[in-house]
């Protein structure tokens, strides 16, 4: 009866099989054997979990825990804890899941029969919480145990997990190594065929992310056939969506649309409204690029009807929807609507990013508090060591001291890891801001092409240069080991070169003189860059009439605790009677405001060309 019920769990619906489950429970109660009674409750717990009934699933596993605790059957009790953790994990109660998985692991150790399943389940839960490094550690441990027990299925599961982690970490070569190994085992060993399907799917995903599109399409085709053979409609849909996206990246929009239509049929057959919405978004990408604007617009606004139901339209899909609508209106040359939808997209993306950072910060704070307690214990031990130094020396105290130093060293290493995590988050923010500004720059570039007026195009060029001067800070900070400050020489040289290229006046010579060692914080670098940008723009536009030759200089000198920024040209100079305090010049107004922001002061001369000096504190 136990074997029959386990088979039904994998092959039949809850409604069709529940009579067998309760019959097994009835027989177990009559038999009054704790093992069978526990097994019956475990099976019912699993059945209710699959049926997504959390309360009933939890009730039956708790009854099994009670039975095995009373009979002191630690092996079955460890299994119960593992099962209980899986239930909490499935219903996104991750903190509780971790507690039960850890109980399971400790109890399995006590029985001398370590189980790789508990380690894998704990790894999956930690992965859901974005605790990737810990998840990888437990996955590796699970594989080691699976190899010792010759458990092929769990070896394959572990390698698939490591492959997936590597894909998320953009380490496609490592992912390929693990996934091909998992694939070979799944193809040659007699195990659950779903593992073979998973290996094909992950290989397709990995090659897709690595832009090896032909390999990706080949493995996706194998995955689709494999999932069809085992009757898994949802994963057929998942792989079809991925295939459609690949054709989109290859700019084969007709193929993308064709596969999307197949995916839509699969989503309807699987009765997945979430899948239907995801497929429609893929279809609109192809339709916009093919010029089928009306069809795309209808689908996009149809999908948006589900924004209030996160089960049908996740926030990530909602974000893509806003992005596609912005792109649609841009292609239709309705720039005002395009920008409005782009702002919606950005607001949602920033909200999701903030949520991710808050969760990561909470995790780091929790670890910090734990390690703070460890450090206090270590310090207390060190004080005791000093008080009893003579006794320690007589009884092997040197070894104890080294052990305590090891604890302190361990704490230091963990704190360093926390620092690296925070730095990575800050780098990610710089990367996202950089990309966002680049998108805005692209919008402006598109608008410029639609404007025949040279004066308007010039104004937009100036706006783009200002955006680039801000963007360059984020770009350099993202690519630098120092995420809070940057070297001014590289920054200003890049800005000067950009302005020079935008005016295309080779007869004007631009020279910069900035110390290699000059460093400024990120927030103070923004106004410096904008000041340089405004001065250079004005010089190129107004200083040299009739495309005459000339020179522009940019220099920066350290002056104690201050920097002295000097900007000058040898052009026609300022008009007679020019008063910098009374000027309405937009560029000079910006420079004055930015100088105030730096807590600096500036002086300006216009007799022989124009020269501007700004002195501002380093901090």
Listed residues 417, 450, 483: the one ending a domain: 450
Quick one: DSSP state of residue 198? H
Same-domain check for residues 432 and 574: no
Does residue 314 fall inside a structural domain? no
Instruction: Count CA atoms within 13 Å of residue 39 on its CB side.
Output: 16
Pairing type for strands 519-521 and 550-559 reads unpaired
> What's the whole-number mean pLDDT along residues 238-261?
91
User: Tokens 């807590």 — which residue?
Assistant: 599
Contacts of 244 (CB under 8 A, 6+ apart): 256, 259, 260, 263, 279, 282, 283, 286
Cα 187 from Cα 196, distance rounded (Å):
6
Q: Same domain, yes or no, for 372 and 508?
A: no
Q: Is the pLDDT of residue 261 over 90?
A: yes
Q: Give every CB contact of residue 37 below 8 A, 6+ residues apart in sequence.
A: 25, 28, 29, 31, 67
Nearest to 318 by CA among 345, 287, 354: 345
138 is a domain residue: no
Residue 287 C-alpha from the chain's centroid: 28
Regarding whether 473 and 440 lie in a shared domain, the answer is: no
**pLDDT band at 7, cuts 50/70/90?**
low
Read off the tokens for 479.
């690519």
Q: Are residues 471 and 619 in the same domain?
A: yes
- Does a structural domain hold residue 111? no
Q: Are residues 414 and 475 in the same domain?
A: no
Q: Rounded to a whole number, what is the largest CA-CA distance in the chain?
A: 109
Sheet with 601-605: list strands edge to edge.
508-513, 550-559, 562-569, 610-617, 601-605
> At 605, which CATH number?
3.30.565.10
* φ and ψ at residue 224, rounded to 5 degrees: -60, -45
- Count Cα neighbours of 254 within 13 Å in the Cβ-side half-sphere: 0
Q: Averaging pLDDT over each range in 33-42, 195-204, 448-457, 470-479, which range is the top one?
A: 195-204
Closest to 95 measured CA to CA, from 362, 410, 373, 425: 362
Which of 450, 476, 491 delimits the end of a domain? 450
CB neighbour class for 16 (10 Å; exposed up to 12, middle 13-18, buried from 19): exposed
State yes or no: pLDDT of 139 exceeds 80. yes
Sequence-separated (6 or more) residues with CB below 8 Å from residue 4? 20
309 is a domain residue? no
Report whether pLDDT(474) > 70.
Answer: no
State the pLDDT confidence band at 475, using cuts at 50, 70 and 90: low
Amino acid 385: pLDDT: 46
Total length of the chain: 619
Q: Is residue 429 part of a domain?
A: yes
The top-scoring range by mean pLDDT among 435-439, 440-444, 508-512 is: 508-512
The pair of structure tokens assigned to 287 is 């339709």
Same domain for 491 and 600, yes or no, is: yes
Q: CA angle, corner 431, sides to 428 and 437, nearest 5?
A: 140
pLDDT tens-digit series, residues 93-119: 888 899 999 999 999 888 888 888 889
CA distances from 2 to 20, 37, 67, 497 (A): 10, 10, 17, 76
Question: In this predicted model, what pLDDT tens digit does every residue of 8-40 receive, in sequence order?
Answer: 555 555 566 666 666 766 777 777 778 888 888
User: Are residues 618 and 494 part of one domain?
Assistant: yes
Query: What percent of the chain lies above the pLDDT cut of 90?
Result: 19
User: Crossing angle, helix 293-303 and helix 273-290, to 10 degrees?
Assistant: 160
146 in any annotated domain: no
Instruction: Report the C-alpha gap between 384 and 446 in whole angstroms.
Output: 71
- Strand boundaries in 258-380, DSSP class E: none
Give the pLDDT band of residue 252 (cuts 50, 70, 90): very high
Long-range contacts of range 574-577, CB-CB < 8 Å, 24 or more positions apart?
A: 574/604, 574/606, 574/610, 575/606
Least confident of 87-96, 279-288, 309-318, 498-507: 309-318
pLDDT at position 565: 92
Q: Answer for the pair 521, 619: CB distance below 8 angstroms, yes or no.
A: yes
Q: What's the rounded Cα separation, in Å, for the pair 424 and 403? A: 32
Side-chain-side CA neighbours of residue 81 (13 Å): 22
Asked whether residue 462 falls in the same domain as residue 591, the answer is yes
Number of other CB atoms surrounding residue 548 within 10 Å:
12
Q: Domain residues for 389? A: 363-450
Asked, for residue 475, whether it belongs to a domain, the answer is: yes
| 591 and 469 share one domain | yes
SS3 566: strand
Mean pLDDT, rounded, for 270-285: 86
577-597: b (≥16 Cβ within 10 Å) or e: eeebeeeeeebbebbbebbeb
Q: Domain count of the chain? A: 2
Same domain, 391 and 489: no
3-state secondary structure of 332: coil
Averaged pLDDT score across all residues of the chain: 78
Instruction: Please identify, among 450, 479, 496, the residue that sits at the C-terminal boundary of a domain.
Output: 450
Residue written as tokens 């200089």? 553
Q: How many angstroms separate the CA atoms of 271 and 201, rounded?
A: 21
Asked whether the predicted pLDDT for residue 445 surpasses 80, the reply is: no
Q: Which residues contact 246 (CB under 8 A, 6 or more apart)?
A: 208, 213, 216, 217, 220
216 pLDDT tier (thresholds 50, 70, 90): very high
Element (H, E) at 115: none
Cα 558 to Cα 145: distance, rounded to the nearest angstrom: 61
422 compared with 154, residue with greater pLDDT: 154
Q: Could you tell me which residues are beta bridge partners of residue 605?
A: 611
Tell how far CA 489 is from the center of its chain.
32
Q: Which of 113-122, 255-264, 312-321, 413-422 has the lowest mean pLDDT?
A: 413-422
Give the pLDDT score at 481.
Answer: 58
On whether residue 170 sits in a domain, the answer given is no
* Phi, psi (degrees; rounded to nearest 5) at 614: -125, 125
Same domain, 438 and 463: no
Residues 445 and 457 placed together within one structural domain of the fold: no
């Amino acid at each position: 009866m136990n074997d029959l019920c386990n088979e039904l769990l994998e092959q039949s619906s809850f409604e069709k099989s529940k009579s067998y489950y309760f019959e097994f429970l009835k027989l177990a109660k009559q038999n009054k054997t704790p093992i069978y009674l526990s097994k019956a409750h475990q099976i019912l717990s699993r059945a209710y979990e699959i049926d997504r009934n959390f309360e009933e699933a939890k009730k039956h596993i708790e009854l099994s825990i009670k039975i095995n605790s009373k009979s002191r059957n630690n092996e079955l009790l460890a299994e119960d804890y593992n099962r209980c953790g899986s239930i909490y994990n499935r219903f996104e109660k991750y903190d509780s899941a971790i507690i039960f998985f850890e109980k399971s692991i400790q109890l399995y150790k006590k029985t001398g029969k370590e189980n790789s399943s508990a380690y894998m389940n704990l790894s999956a839960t930690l992965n859901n919480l974005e605790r990737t490094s810990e998840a990888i550690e437990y996955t590796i441990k699970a594989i080691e145990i699976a190899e010792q027990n010759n458990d092929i299925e769990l070896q394959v599961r572990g390698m698939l997990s490591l492959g997936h982690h590597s894909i998320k970490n953009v380490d496609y070569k490592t992912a390929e190594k693990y996934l091909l190994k998992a694939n070979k085992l799944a193809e040659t060993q007699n195990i659950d065929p779903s593992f073979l399907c998973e290996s094909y799917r992950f290989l397709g995903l990995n090659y897709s992310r690595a832009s090896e599109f032909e390999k990706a399409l080949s493995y996706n085709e194998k995955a689709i056939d494999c999932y069809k053979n085992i009757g898994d409609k949802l994963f057929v849909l998942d792989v079809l969506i991925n295939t459609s996206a690949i054709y989109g990246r290859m700019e084969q929009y007709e193929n993308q649309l064709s596969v999307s239509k197949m995916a839509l049929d699969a989503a309807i057959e699987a009765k997945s409204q979430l899948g239907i919405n995801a497929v429609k978004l893929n279809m609109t990408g192809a339709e916009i690029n093919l010029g089928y604007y009306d069809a795309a617009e209808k689908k996009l606004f149809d999908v948006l009807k589900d924004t209030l139901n996160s089960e049908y339209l996740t926030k990530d899909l909602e974000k893509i929807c806003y992005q596609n609508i912005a792109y649609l209106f841009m292609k239709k040359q309705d720039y005002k609507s395009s920008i409005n939808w782009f702002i919606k997209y950005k607001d949602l993306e920033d909200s999701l990013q903030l949520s991710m950072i808050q969760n990561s910060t909470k995790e780091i704070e929790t670890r910090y508090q734990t390690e703070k307690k460890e450090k206090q214990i270590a310090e207390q031990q060190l004080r005791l060591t000093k008080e009893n130094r003579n006794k320690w020396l007589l009884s092997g105290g040197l070894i104890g001291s080294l052990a305590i130093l090891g604890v302190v060293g361990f704490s230091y290493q963990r704190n360093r890891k926390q620092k690296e995590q925070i730095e990575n988050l800050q780098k990610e923010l710089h990367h996202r801001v950089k990309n966002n500004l680049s998108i805005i720059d692209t919008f402006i570039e598109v608008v410029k092409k639609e404007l025949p007026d040279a004066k308007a195009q010039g104004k937009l060029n100036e706006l783009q240069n200002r955006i680039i001067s801000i963007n360059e800070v984020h770009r350099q900070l993202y690519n630098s080991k120092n995420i809070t400050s940057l070297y001014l020489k590289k920054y200003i040289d890049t800005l000067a070169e950009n302005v020079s290229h935008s005016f295309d006046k080779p007869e004007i010579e631009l020279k910069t003189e900035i110390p290699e060692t000059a460093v400024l914080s990120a927030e103070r670098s923004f106004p410096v860059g904008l000041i340089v940008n405004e001065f250079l723009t004005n010089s190129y536009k107004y200083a040299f009439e009739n495309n005459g030759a000339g020179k522009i200089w940019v220099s920066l000198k350290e002056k104690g605790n201050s920097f002295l920024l000097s900007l000058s040209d040898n052009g026609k100079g300022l008009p007679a009677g020019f008063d910098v305090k009374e000027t309405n010049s937009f560029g000079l107004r910006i420079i004055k405001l930015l100088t105030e922001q730096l807590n600096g002061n500036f002086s300006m001369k216009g007799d022989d060309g124009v020269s501007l000096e700004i002195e501002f504190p380093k901090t």
